[in-house]
Structure 1
Amino acid sequence: MTTGVPTAAAPVRFNPFSAEFRRDPYPMYRRLREHHPVHRTLGMWVLTRHADVRAVLRDRTFSAGLIPRQIARQADRLGVADTRRLQRLSVSSLVFTDEPDHRRLRALVNPVFTAKTLDALRPRIAAAADDLLARAHADGGFDAIGDFAAPLPLAVLGDWLGLPADVRPLVGGWTHDIRFILEPGLMRAEDLTRVRAVLDGFHAMLADVIAERRARPGEDLISRLLAARTGGGDRLDDEEIAFVCVMCFVAGVETTASLLGNTVLALAGHPDQDVLLRRRPELAAAAVGETLRLDPPLQLTKRLATRDVEIGGERIGAGDEVLLCLGATGRDPAVFDRPDEFDLTRDTRDHLAFGHGMHGCLGGALARAQVEIALGRLHQRLGVLAPIPGPDGDPVWQRHSFIIRGLSRLPLTVRGTG
C-alpha cells in the first residue's frame, strides 16, 4: 500500500510541471521541508519552511521585481516588438514593485481599500452570489466552479468598478489572457502578442470609463482612485488608474475563484466540518482561513536576492532567484499542529497565503469576504453539497498555471437541506 509520500531514501526531484505535483504538491513539499528545506534546482533556490519563507517576505533586500525583467527578456527572446504598455503595467503594479515606488503606490491605493468600503460591498457580493446560484442550480447538482466560483469575483469587480454592461462579458477572457504576465517564461510568441493586444483593448475601454467618471464621479472604485491624493498632492495618472483596475482582475479573480472552489471541495470532503459550519455560520471566516492554510490558491512566488545571505546553512548569492513555496508553509508542523487535517477550530493567523510584509496582498480582505459570503449563500440556498459518485464527479484541477492551485471543474450534488 502506498501513502503518496516519498520515502526518506527517495531522491528529491522538485518538478512543479509534473502531473503528480499538479494533483497534489503537498507530499513533495513535505519531503523537501523535512530533508532539504533550502533546495537548489532549476536555476533557483526553493524554500519550504515557514520560518525561511516568512523571513524572505519580510526582508526588503529581496526584490519583487522579477516579473518585469522576465517579460522584457521573454519579449526580446521571442522577437515580439512594442511591449511597452505591457512592461509599464508590470513595473507600476504593487505586486512587482520595490521601494520607493511601492511606498508611493501604497500611499495612493491603500486608502481606497478600507474596511468601510468593504462593508459597503457586502450586500453587492451577496446579491451577486444569489443571482449566480439562482441561474446555476438545476436538476439537483451544479458545477461549483464554472457556475459559481469563477463568475462571482468577475461580477463583484465589474460592479465595483461600474463597468459598462456590454463589456462585462468580455472581461473574464481578457483577465485570463493578461494573467499570463504572472508566468512570463510560459509565454510563446503568439501568447505574448495576444496578451499585448488584449491589454491595449482593456486599457482603451478603461480610458473611456475613467474619462466618464472624471466628468461624473460616483462611489465606484475608479471614482475613488481619481480622487486619491497624498498629503503632498501626489495622484495617480490615468494610465496608473487603468493599471490598478487591470491588476484587480488579474490578481484577484483567479485567486478568489480558486479559494472559493478549494474551500467548497474541503467542506464537501469533510462532512463533519461542513455540519459544524452549518451549525455555527459564524465560522465562515475560520473555514476560509483554514483553506488558506491547508490548500491556498497562490502556491508559489519568487524573489530576487540583491545581496549575499545565508538561509538554512546555504549561501544564497546576490542575483540568485528564490522560489517561495507558500503552499508548503501552511503545513509546517513547526507552526501548525496536525498540519494535514482540515479543522475549522484551529488558529490560522500565522498562514502566509496572502504573503507577508510590505507585499502582503492588498485585496486579501475582499477575497475573504467574497468567499465567506458565498459559503453562507450556498448553505442557505442549496442545502448539503456532496461529491457526485463515480468518475463524472471527479474534481478537475486547472492546468494553465503553475503558481495557482485551483479547480477548473467541481461537480456537486445536493443532499437534503442540512
Structure 2
Amino acid sequence: MRFNPFAPSFRQDPYAQYAALRAELPIRTLGMWVLTRHTDVLAVLRDRSFSAELIPALVARHGGAVDTDLVLRLGRASLVFTDNPAHARLRGLVNRVFTPAAVADLEPLVHELAQRRVSGLRHDLMAELAEPLPVEVLCTWLGLPAELHGQVAGWTHEIRFLLEPGMLKRDHLERISRVVATFAAALREVRTPGLLRELAAVRTAGGDRLTEEETALLGIMCFVAGTETTAALIGNSALALLRSPGIGLEQVPATVRETLRHESPLQMTTRIATREIEIGGVRIAAGDQVLLCLAAANRDPAVFPNPDTFDPARGPGPHLGFGFGMHGCLGGALAELQARAVLDTLVRGPDLRLDGEVRWQTESLIVRSPEALPVTVAAGAR
C-alpha cells in the first residue's frame, strides 16, 4: 500500500485512499507509521506516552545557522507542542481565562462580525468571509489595536508552517524566525484590555504566572492554531449548507458538528512514540513518528454507519475533529461558535448559490478547506 499525501489527487479527495488504508494494518511510509482506524488513532491520542514535541525537535535539528531560539521558545510556550509537566502548567494557567463562559460572552460579537461579513459577500465566501472572520474575532478578543489587525493574518500564515512537519524547510525557518520576533514584539506592546492582558495577569494559587514573553508567544499560537483551521470549518460548513439548501436554523448546530466529522478541517496530526508499543497489530518502536489521520478515523465504518454520507441527523458521535485528550483543541468551542454564527446568518439570508467548481487548497497538508468558494447572490437578495 502506497500513501502519498503530496499527490494532487489525494489533496483534492483523500477519502478513497483513507478507506484503502483502513483495510490494511498500519503502514510505515515516509519515515512514519500511518494510522487511519478510529480505534488506533484514539488509542494514541489517549496515551500520554506519545509525545507532541515533534516540531521543536525538528526546529532544533534543522535550524543550522538560522537563529531559532525564539521559535524553540514558541514551541515550549505552546499547548500544541508541549508534553507534561510543561503542558499541564500552561493549560492550568490558560484555562483560568479561556473558559466556556468567556467564549459564550463572545457570541454577540461573533454574530455581529459574521452578519457584517455576510452582508458584504460578493464573489468568494472563503476570501470575503471564512478567512477574515476568525482573525477579526481573535484580534478583538485579545485586545489588539486596530493597526495590527491588517498584519496578523500574514504573520500567522508564515508561522503556520510549524504545524506542517512534512513541509518545513530551512528557508521557512528563516522567515518564521523573523516573523515570530516581529509578532512577539508587537504583542508585548499591547496594553488595551482583552484576553492578552488577562493572560498576563493570571496567577495560580501557588503564585505561578506567565512571563511577558510566554504571554506574547501564547497569543501568537492562538492565531496559528485557531484561525486557518476555523476558517476551514466555516468554509466546509458553508459548503455543506450550500449543497443542502433545505437545512434550517434548528439544524445549524448539527450541521457544524457533522462537518467536523465528515469534512474534518484538521485532517491529520503527528506524535512520537517514547516507548515500544503495539498499535493496530504492529510494533511501534520508541522514537518512531506516528501520523494520526483524524479525517480517516472520522469516516471509519466501524464507528460511523454510512460514513461517507453527510447526515446532520446522525446525532453526536465520537468524532476526532478536535483531537482528543490533553491535546484536544482548546479553541474548539470558539471555532464552532463562529461556524454556527455564519450558518445561522446564511440560513436567514441572503439567497446564495454555488457559482462554479469548488477547488480545494493545496498549500497545507493537514488542513482541508476550499481554496475558493465561488458564490452568486440571487437578484433582489440584498
Q: What is the TM-score of this pair, normalised by structure 1?
A: 0.88
Q: Distance in 2 between matches of 1:116 and 1:352?
A: 23
1:30 and 2:19 matched: yes
5+ residue gaps, structure 2? none
- Quote the residue 1:258 is aligned against: 232
Tell me how far 1:184 sits from its aligned partner.
4.2
Cα-Cα RMSD: 1.4
Given candidates 350, 354, 362, the residue that maps to 1:387 is: 354
Q: Distance in 1 between matches of 2:228 and 2:19?
A: 26
1:40 and 2:14 matched: no
Q: Distance in 2 between matches of 1:323 and 1:185?
A: 11
- Quote the residue 1:54 is aligned against: 42
Q: Distance in 1 between matches of 2:25 and 2:241?
A: 30
Instruction: Output aligned runs, 1:160-179, within 5 Å.
Output: 160-179=141-160
1:198 and 2:179 matched: yes
- Quote the residue 2:203 is aligned against: 229
Once the two structures are aligned, what percentage of the paired residues are identical?
52
Q: Deviations over 1:142-188 (max 9, x none)?
A: 21100100000011011111111111111110110011111244233
- Quote the residue 1:143 is aligned against: 124
SS of residue in 1 equivalent to 2:207? coil
CA contact (8 A) 2:126 2:235 kept: yes
- Quote the residue 1:126 is aligned against: 111
SS of residue in 2 equivalent to 1:111? coil
1:335 and 2:324 matched: no
Moved more, 146-155 or 346-355: 346-355
Instruction: Output aligned runs, 1:258-337, within 5 Å.
Output: 258-269=232-243, 271=244, 274-275=245-246, 277-278=247-248, 281-337=249-305
Instruction: Output aligned runs, 1:68-87, within 5 Å.
Output: 68-76=56-64, 79-80=65-66, 82-87=67-72
Given candidates 220, 231, 235, the residue that maps to 1:246 is: 220
Tell me how far 1:415 sits from its aligned partner.
4.5
Query: Amino acid of the residue matched to residue 292 of structure 1?
Result: L
Q: Distance in 1 between matches of 2:325 and 2:129?
A: 32
Q: Distance in 1 between matches of 2:62 and 2:76?
A: 15
Given candidates 89, 93, 101, the residue that maps to 2:74 is: 89
- After superposition, the Cα gap between the structure-2 partners of 1:55 and 1:373, relative to the gap in structure 1 and judged at 3 Å, is same
Query: Amino acid of the residue matched to residue 217 of structure 2?
Result: F
CA contact (8 A) 2:25 2:282 kept: no
SS of residue in 2 equivalent to 1:167? helix
- Quote the residue 1:411 is aligned against: 374
CA contact (8 A) 1:70 1:185 kept: no
Q: Deviations over 1:303-332 (max 9, x none)?
A: 110111111221111111100000101110
SS of residue in 2 equivalent to 1:287? helix
CA contact (8 A) 1:37 1:48 kept: no
SS of residue in 2 equivalent to 1:386? strand
5+ residue gaps, structure 1? 1-11
Q: Distance in 1 between matches of 2:318 and 2:378?
A: 35
SS of residue in 2 equivalent to 1:96? coil
Query: Amino acid of the residue matched to residue 42 of structure 1?
Result: L
- Quote the residue 2:9 is aligned against: 20
Moved more, 324-333 or 374-383: 374-383
Q: Distance in 1 between matches of 2:25 and 2:77?
A: 33
CA contact (8 A) 1:74 1:184 kept: no
Query: Amino acid of the residue matched to residue 241 of structure 2?
Result: L
Q: Distance in 1 between matches of 2:263 and 2:324?
A: 17
